Amino acid sequence: MSAHSSAQPGLPVLPGALFGSRQGEITQVPSPLQRAVDVTFRRLCHAFAWFTILLVTFIVLRIAMSAAPAMREQGWGFLTGRVWDANAGQFGILAQIWGTLYTSILALILGTAFGVAAAVFLSEGFLGSTIFGLLKYFGVHLHPWWGRLPDQIERILKELIELLAAIPSVVYGLWGIFVVIPLIRPLCHALHEHAGWIPLFSTDLSGPGVLPAVIVLAIMIMPTVTAISRDALVSVPVKLRMAAYGLGATRWESIFAVILPTASRGIAGGIVLAFGRALGETMALAMLVGNSNQINLSLFSPANTLAALLANNFPEAGPREVGLLMYAALVLLGITLVVNIMGAFILQRAAKNAAE
Amino acid sequence: MAASVQPIEPNSRPVASPHDHDIVMHCDIRELFYGNFKAVRDTSIPIKKNSITAFIGPSGCGKSTVLRCLNRMNDLVRGFRFEGKVRFRGRDIYETGIDPVAVRRFIGMVFQQPNPFATSIFNNVAFGLRLNGYKGDKAAKVESALRGAALWDEVKDKLHKSGLSLSGGQQQRLCIARAIATEPEVLLMDEPCSALDPIATRKIEELMTDLRKKFTIAIVTHNLQQAQRVADYTGFLYVDTSMGGRTGYLVEFEQSRKLFEDPQHKHTKEYIRGEFS
Amino acid sequence: MAEPLSNPNLGIEDPFAGVDFSELEHSLRRPRTFMDFVLNGLVTLMTLSALVPLFSVVLMLLWRGGKRLGLALFTQLPPAPLETGGGFGNAIVGTVLMVLLAVLLSVPVGLMTAIYLAQAKQSKVAEVVRFAAKVLTGFPSILAGVFAYGAIVLTTGGFSALAGAVALSVLMLPTIVLTSEDALRMVPSRMKEASVGMGATSTQTVWMVLLPTAMPGILTGVMLAVARAAGETAPLIFTALFSNYWMWSHGEVQVLQPTASLAVLIYNFAGMPFKNQVELAWAAALVLVLFVLIANLIGQSLSNKQVQQG
């Protein structure tokens, strides 16, 4: 059997063309236009992918370059100065750094507690089993409509918690001013009266302050913690749960001994990302924290954060102040970048572990 | 090659004569690698006009790989390397300067899993026409392709419905209709019935013997009876594990009847007997 | 040892007589069971209390924002201090326009990047792009504003809708890239194979198979990004600033002038000591939340569509 070269005798094989397309045949070699479009489109996609990388680099460089003159002028003293006074020509952001970290850490503690609790509640079928028990009590657990209720309600609850993240931060700020502050003021006043010796309660709440800001911030970051933790908890293999239950562990013994440790990497990643979000959050803090450059442990004293400083001063900043604000922005960028990269890294390793 | 071929259905088509000018494609693989893994070696198979050529062999023998060589689908696999020639229309399709995209337009393919697009039945079939910038009457071509795939009567009232709404067997026939709508010269079928039930398989087999009148078909199958029922020629591939690898190679290529009734090679004999006993 | 049965008539030994069955009964007096009960209650309570803010926000919006809801809000301009009435028609126009402009800027870039990522899968560039996009998701929104201030406001010499839109598009980009890539990858690879096997160029495969099949998922990502951008305030405060006037003058839309937005209006009016302005802030918050929720709902329903299709 010899390999024959000409399938169609008499058919001219054009040197440049691939195959001689015959007249009236549907099948055609790709037209020059199709080829040109293909190459152009692929190059364009590649170019835009590079553009995304360059954009991130450009953003960082742009901010760094704008900050450079101020950095040269102020040096490290900018980071340790406690006063921001344009009239006195004194600029320092230690108070803002302190406020940023203090509010974020407190909000993280609060948001993590509730967020992880909600994640456990959603992933371990608490609600479903309770409702199922109720339905069984009324004898309708096999009913075609009622029987679906546990799943439906769990889904709705999950979506409601996700909805918390959808509300714009400025609306939370508004709500904080007109609902949270009036609501907690009597309680704060009482705490200050009776337990003022504790540093946390050493001043009185006069309106905006750390506590209302922390409460609202915690509400804003909770959905992040819940969503990521729930994903991590759900992906714990069923066989591990079964092993724990099979040994006679109660539900909570298996949660603490097996499920939470297995999901800990994912939960940790979620917490770190939520921390990054809290550090960068602007509006709720600008509206609730009081914008006063103080370093104070008290929950009721006003404070300031880096993001709020930028939000308040940029609109009316002169050229000199813009440089200083860019310096502050660069500090904020550095802090959030480190935290976010850490979070992404932890989550990536958690995902890799889960895959193995 | 033997001098005369007995067609399986004597009335359906003229006797295939083994003259060279009947060879549409000639696949000549010397060595084929995926990365460092040598998947196939020394396989030379001619594919004749208006015939069905089947590739059989134990799993892992590289029969699908050989088939995918014929329209350069392997190019999509990372680390694919190829040493040899696949001749089609007077050219080696692996020659530098040949566009694999163009190759695939002339050599259509039907896959193991039915894979219609998530769009209407009509658009599925018209897909290839659009690719090729067909200017004529698309509706007529779609109808004739669907008739050719024996699907027209079942779908003519719901051409706008999603291709995914059809049953498995119907989906596979839709994919065949999609492949033949552009009237490619060769149709490659990679285990087209393995995901289907016996009744759907039956229909596809009937369709293949019908399509042979217009097209040239190469098919991979793990079902020996199927090869016996539909194929004019059959190539048997076997796995060589001697070097510690799993490299497939062609053991025997013959007219189907001859291969199944009087296999020459030891491996072929064992394989065919093993399957039947 | 087994005691004789209490029923003397039978006279058979009970094999379970030595077992204290009360041990098996559910009782809260056992510490383990009790702990379980307490923790169940605690977690339930914490989860439900997490929803209190949501209901509180929604109720307040309906109660305080609903009072002013009317046509005037959409047709009138923001009032000056101590003025009565007024609305925020210009802020709605400004928000819609800036979000649309941001969509125009970010969707082509984001989608093409996603197409590249979905095709390139494991290449080094793809890894870096994905990492960049993830870093950008956690990027504080105010820094997008700082960037737009440096790149647009300082170079064009003034606050403008364009600067606001650029800031918003930086925030939308990563969402669009990551969700679109996911949607494109969810297209079954056998569909891609079918298209390639027919001799489609990779561009034809993208346009004729991948994009139509992944469209619901892509639109979900775009809607989520729109919902987020519409509510963003921080990047607008010092890029678009605010304006008390309509965006058009001399019959032209002024893209390079300071522009009002709902979010900044809420921020500005929330801190004012005037009842009228505070009421308008609540009404604007209601309108904004409705806008965001509708965008979210559209996105959700589209993503359900893709799930059904897959």
C225 Rama class: left (phi>0) / alpha (psi -120 to 50) / beta: alpha
Q: Burial of B67 by CB count in 10 Å (0-12 exposed, 13-18 middle, 19+ buried)?
A: buried
Compare CB distances from B104 to C190, C197, C209 and report the shortest one's residue.
C197
Contact A4 B89 (CB under 8 A): no
- Report the residue from C190, C201, C208 with minimal CB separation from B101: C201
The sign of the dihedral angle between the CA atoms of C255, C258, C264, C265 is: negative
Query: Do the Cβ atoms of B46 and A1 come within 8 Å?
Result: yes
Class of domain B23-276: alpha beta
Confidence band (pLDDT; 50, 70, 90) for B187? very high
Distance, CA of C142 to chain centre:
17
| Residue, of A350 and C117, whose pLDDT is higher | C117
Kindly state whether B185 is in contact with chain A, defined as any CB-CB distance less than 8 angstroms.
yes
Q: Which of C222, C229, C224 is nearest to C95 (CA)?
A: C229
ipTM of the shown complex: 0.87
Closest CA in chain A for residue B186: A27
Q: Which of residues 302-321 of A touch C (CB under 8 A)?
A: 307, 310-311, 314-315
Nearest to A5 by CA among B66, C206, B46, B266: B46
Cβ partners under 8 Å of residue B196, min gap 6: B168, B169, B172, B204
The CATH number that applies at residue A174 is: 1.10.3720.10
* Chain B CA closest to residue C189: B115
Q: Please, are residues C97 and C247 in contact by the beta-carbon 8 Å criterion?
A: yes
pLDDT in tens, B212-236: 988 999 999 988 889 999 999 999 9
* Phi, psi of B250, deg, nearest 5: -80, 125
pLDDT of residue B3: 43
pLDDT score of A24: 57
B116 touches chain C (CB under 8 A): yes
Stretches in chain A below the pLDDT threshold 70? 1-24, 355-356
CB-CB: which of B24, B44, B106 is closest to A27?
A: B106
Domain that residue A269 falls in: 93-320+335-355
Domains, chain C, in order of start with CATH, read 21-66 (no CATH), 71-309 (1.10.3720.10)
Mutate to test the interface with B, among A26, A33, A34, A38 (most CBs of B within 10 A): A26
Residue A22 has a pLDDT of 55
Spatial separation of the C-alpha atoms in residues B2 and B258, rounded to whole Å: 9
Does some domain include residue A35? Answer: no
Amino acid at residue number A155: R
**Smallest CA–CA distance from B73 into chain C, residue:** C197
Dump the DSSP string for A213-258: HHHHHHHHHHHHHHHHHHHHHHTS-HHHHHHHHHTT--HHHHIIII
* Cβ under 8 Å to C: A residues 141-170: 157, 159-161, 163-164, 166-170
Per-residue pLDDT, averaged over B140-147, amounts to: 92
Residue A57: what pLDDT? 92
Show me where the domains of chain B are located: 23-276
Cβ atoms of residues A303 and A290 within 8 Å: yes
C310, with CB counted inside 10 A (0-12, 13-18, 19+), is middle
B162 at interface of A, judged by CB pairs closer than 8 A: no
Cβ neighbors of C32 (< 8 A, separation 6 or more) are A250, A253
Per-residue pLDDT at B110: 93
Angle at B142 between CA B136 and CA B148, to 5 degrees: 125
Tell whether A52 is covered by a domain: no
Average pLDDT (C91-112) is 95
Give the angle subtended at the CA of A55 by the CAs of A53 and A59, to the nearest 5°.
125
Contacts of B78 (CB under 8 A, 6+ apart): B35
* Residue where the block lists tokens 């994009």: C211
Mean of all residue pLDDT scores within chain C: 87
- How far, in Å, CA of B145 to CA of C23, rounded? 74
Neighbouring chains to C with at least 3 Cβ pairs closer than 8 Å: A, B
